[in-house]
Amino acid sequence: MEEYYKRLEVQTDGCPTRTTVDQAECERTCTVSMLPLHMDDLSDQEVLEFQNRGILNESGDIVLMRAKHIAYLRKGLKVLPAGFVALDASRPWIIYWITHSLDLLNALRSDDDAAIIATLASCQQPTGGFGGGPQQLAHCAPTYAAVLTLLLLGTEAAYSAVDRSALYRFFTSIKHPSGGFRMHEDGEVDVRGTYTVISIAALLNILTPELVQGVAEYVLAAQTYEGGFGGEPGNEAHGGYAFCAFATLGILGRASDARLDSLEWWLCHRQMRLEGGFQGRTNKLVDGCYSFWQGGTLALLEYVRRGRIGEVTLLRGGKEGGAIRPEHGESPEPGNFELLKYHDNIMLEGGKEGGAIRPEHGESPEPGNVILPEVPCMLGEVKLGADGSRRCYYVHAHGQMGADGVTTFMHMVSPAGVHSGALAYNQRDLQRYVLLCAQQPEGGLRDKPGKTRDFYHTCYNLSGLSVTQHCLTETPSVLGDSANELLPTNPLYNITEVKAAMAMAHFAKLPCEHDALMQQQQQRQ
């Protein structure tokens, strides 16, 4: 076991930095949390201790401590400790994190609906948006959280609490000439505010040509040289912003206009080799919340690759099943895709091209006699066709290098169990991280071992777990106990699939034209 983890540890090249020291400590704590994976190395007493803590069942399978999480969440919905006064401007968020987590756990009860609706209604401001609390400034972030919560309740009373015309007027008032949206009146413009507006507008059937004008161009400009997306053009790539940007493009039917290969490369390299979870940015530590922000973006990317993004946008028309772009009219149905190849460009020491993988070139002549160690990497071949087939595996690459450095790899294999599932990251390792490193024995989930539980990390760890269990698979991929399976979440809107579909069906019957929505609001005033 020690030898296995040793191969995956951070390499310092003899020059430790604050970054590598913190990374090594994080790996150490995660390795301890992963002890239940190695039953043969544990004593009977240690196995019994893990079973008593609820981490393992009697058969030795890893367990999602469902009952403890539900108890933690339900308590938070009723009363919060005094320290939460610091989050007074995040009331809709707290309610969303809790209710969505309960819904994923199939434990959302209707007896709290009236209190939730009343609390959120008190946060909606005369301008149309929701503030973080009563009498607080209308802001895109709590608006997003409040509306999602009302939609996941899924009742007529909850739907009626959303004032669509007032909300539409608010969205038009924060539209920026750049194409993006401000977070609030006179606030910052970024892809986060843009996603919250576009996603809620899509769900409520108020996604008009006036609202989407210039949005895709603004978002595309935020893609960085690394392949990810920053909060705004020129900023560093970041997991949360990457999700917001790419999800926005997915809704608009413009996702394929992004540099998809670069995005996938960046996303896959955010999955940590030892821990299995994702980091949010280059050279940062693993964090359980990115199980959704990075894992969900990779899921959306796969839907785009297969021409199936319409299955999650739930919108009709558009080049990719996203929103119809008025300037182009309704596009034809997605057709077959050509076979395409790309290079992963993993940087290895030596090589005329930095060691880039070139599988199409085959074996290089007369390789030198220095053996290249095994290196985890991505196979740089993508197959897309009428059947939507695509495979992108983690592989072990075996090669040789001599005086001229690495030129190519002699052969590539994908051992069974290294990668499973339809997505381009190691789904098994991510589930392992959530279940063993992010769960807190008392209930609730956390950033990483050594951190404390909170509702935010509980929500996004569970959301990421749901994505990796359900997206693009006919049979759920569940690690450990079969009872670990969650309800499937929609990876674009992040409410459960059934609640997203119900909301779209409900609001599809209501007026959706710009003039009608604006006139409706003017009549009320």
In contact, 404 and 367? CB cutoff 8 Å:
no
- Give the C-alpha separation, 388 to 390, whole Å: 6
246 contact partners, CB below 8 Å, separation of at least 6: 229, 255, 258, 263, 297, 300, 301
State the burial class of residue 480 (Cβ atoms within 10 Å of its Cβ: 0-12, 13-18, 19+).
Answer: buried
Residue 292: both structure tokens together = 């959704």
236 contact partners, CB below 8 Å, separation of at least 6: 224, 230, 281
CA distances from 241 to 134, 212, 238 (A): 28, 18, 5
Q: Which amino acid is located at 178 in the chain?
A: S
- Give the C-alpha separation, 515 to 525, whole Å: 15
In contact, 132 and 85? CB cutoff 8 Å:
no
Q: β-strand 370-378 against 381-382: which pairing, if any?
A: unpaired
Q: Which amino acid is located at 298 in the chain?
A: L
Q: Tell me the catalytic residues.
A: 238, 281, 284, 287, 289-290, 447, 454, 457
Q: What is the 3-state secondary structure (H, E, C) of 208-258?
A: CHHHHCCHHHHHHCCECCCCCECCCCCCCCCHHHHHHHHHHHHHHCCHHHC
- Give the C-alpha separation, 357 to 470, whole Å: 31
Encode burial over 407-422: b for 16+ CB neighbours within 10 A, e otherwise: bbbeebeeeeeebbbb
Q: Is 199 helix (H, G, I), strand (E, B) or coil?
A: helix
For residue 464, report the phi and psi dihedrals to the nearest 5 degrees.
-65, -35
- Give the C-alpha separation, 391 to 494, whole Å: 25
Residue 87: both structure tokens together = 């989050």
Q: Which amino acid is located at 391 in the chain?
A: R
- Give the C-alpha separation, 291 to 457, whole Å: 10
For residue 276, report the phi and psi dihedrals to the nearest 5 degrees.
95, -20
Which residues partner with 378 through β-bridges?
A: 394
Residue 509: both structure tokens together = 């019957």
In contact, 440 and 461? CB cutoff 8 Å:
no
